[in-house]
Structure 1
Amino acid sequence: MQRIVNSIAIFLVIFSMSALSYGMDQSSPYVVLEKVGDKLFSRIAASQQEIIKFPQLMQNIVEEELMPSIDYRYASYRILGKHLKNTTKEQREQFVDSMRSYLSRTYANALMQYKTQDIVFEPEKSVEGKKIVGIKVQIVELNSPTIDVIFKMRKNKQTSEWKAFDMVVEGISLLSSKQAELSNKIAKEGIEQVSIELASIAK
């Protein structure tokens, strides 16, 4: 299970990064996924010795290259679900900031586990007229079962950028799982307390 969790977080990093920073075609989430993935892991592979000596480097990479391009606000609102309508603007901003910090630390920790697994991308399909698409990717590792991952991507109507907000592994949505985990806590403890707890985990 831990290998699956690590692989999921790693692959969320792959296609959530900004394709614009590499001058890529933003009209296709498939192009973003494959090309950015190749570039990201080439960089990680080339920086292995530095990362071993200075683990904080991975956190810096995540902050600089990844977090500006993750649709963490949309994901945060989806996690809040029914609680969203009962929050103030200030409470929402605090929760989004805490979730961003939590995700940043999670991705950095997961990337530390990367061991050059093979990646098989689904062939490109038409996304004309679609705002949300799911893309299948396979994680292939020697002497281990192949893991099928479906990435949920959303197109921003203002910028036309495709960004990640969820992924599904063996029928389990990470977004839905996190929502189920936090929903009762928010109901019992309040959104402000949950935001504080998320922020403390990220430190």
Structure 2
Amino acid sequence: MLKMKLNRWLSKIVVIATALFAVQAFADDNPYVLMQQASDKLFGDISANQSKIKQDPNYLKTIVRQDLMPYVHVNYAGSLVLGQYFKSTTPEQREKFFAAFDKFIEQSYAQALTLYTNQKIQIENPKDVAENQVSIRVKVLQGGNAAPVNLNFFWRKNSKTGKWQVYDMAAEGVSMVDTKKQEWSGILRKDGIDALTAQVQKAASVPVKLSK
């Protein structure tokens, strides 16, 4: 029951994560700039394509694929999710899992975007970035008297491309990567990565449905 509530809560706030990932490539040398520009890019595309989205909610996957996925460090996040089981997998198995995980992220954020209700975002003031990883604090301002949601976005400079990418988000201290790692560890332990990949592929294929 607790895990179901946690996953439901995370799915509601994950829409804010999408707003902070999708950005213009020219700013890829500064994660603070990336986050500041993200909201306008992603939600501008959503606003401009409302008729398409209402006709076919799966069009949100197209927007997520174009605006978000190039800026998500899928393989690094996926390796963290696999944790101790990473070393016991073959390169071919990992490649298939990462591909499935990529589609899973696309579907998850596309579905989460149906919950967007014009929340406001406050990003902490930029700081000097001296290392290859940085955590950036964000407050999501809710309507009425609701308390803000505190988020942390974890950015890492890709060692191969040199671009900053997001690999994890924590909501009120709860890491999405750690949540999936705990949720999927039992399958990895009992049935192995091939079974997990099949389950992730199935979850990724679920059609996007508009929220009522």
1:10 maps to which of 10, 15, 21? 15
Give RMSD over aligned pairs.
1.6
2:63 maps to which of 42, 61, 64? 61
Cα-to-partner distance string for 1:118-138 (whole Å, 9 max, x where unaligned): 11111101112x111111111
**CA shift for structure 1 position 53:** 2.2
* 2:116 equivalent in structure 1: 114
* 1:12/1:164 contact within 8 Å kept: no
Cα-to-partner distance string for 1:4-42 (whole Å, 9 max, x where unaligned): 5322x223322333531xxx3222100001112222112
Superposed, which structure 2 residues align to 1:5-154 within 5 Å?
5-7=11-13, 9-20=14-25, 24-128=26-130, 130-143=131-144, 144-154=146-156
Name the SS for the 1:16 alignment partner.
Answer: coil
Stretch deviating more after TM superposition (99-108 or 137-146): 137-146
* 1:16/1:70 contact within 8 Å kept: yes
**CA shift for structure 1 position 173:** 0.8
TM-score by length of 2: 0.87
TM-score by length of 1: 0.91
* 1:155 equivalent in structure 2: 157
**CA shift for structure 1 position 63:** 1.8
Q: Distance in 1 between matches of 2:179 and 2:9?
A: 17
Name the SS for the 1:123 alignment partner.
Answer: coil
Stretch deviating more after TM superposition (44-53 or 33-42): 44-53
1:172 maps to which of 171, 174, 179? 174
Structure 1 spans left out of the alignment, 5+ residues = none
Name the SS for the 2:77 alignment partner.
Answer: helix
Name the SS for the 1:112 alignment partner.
Answer: helix
Aligned residue pair count:
198
Name the SS for the 1:163 alignment partner.
Answer: strand
Cα-to-partner distance string for 1:87-115 (whole Å, 9 max, x where unaligned): 11111111111111111110100011111
Stretch deviating more after TM superposition (174-183 or 37-46): 37-46
Q: Distance in 2 between matches of 1:197 and 1:93?
A: 15
**CA shift for structure 1 position 47:** 2.5
Structure 2 spans left out of the alignment, 5+ residues = 206-212
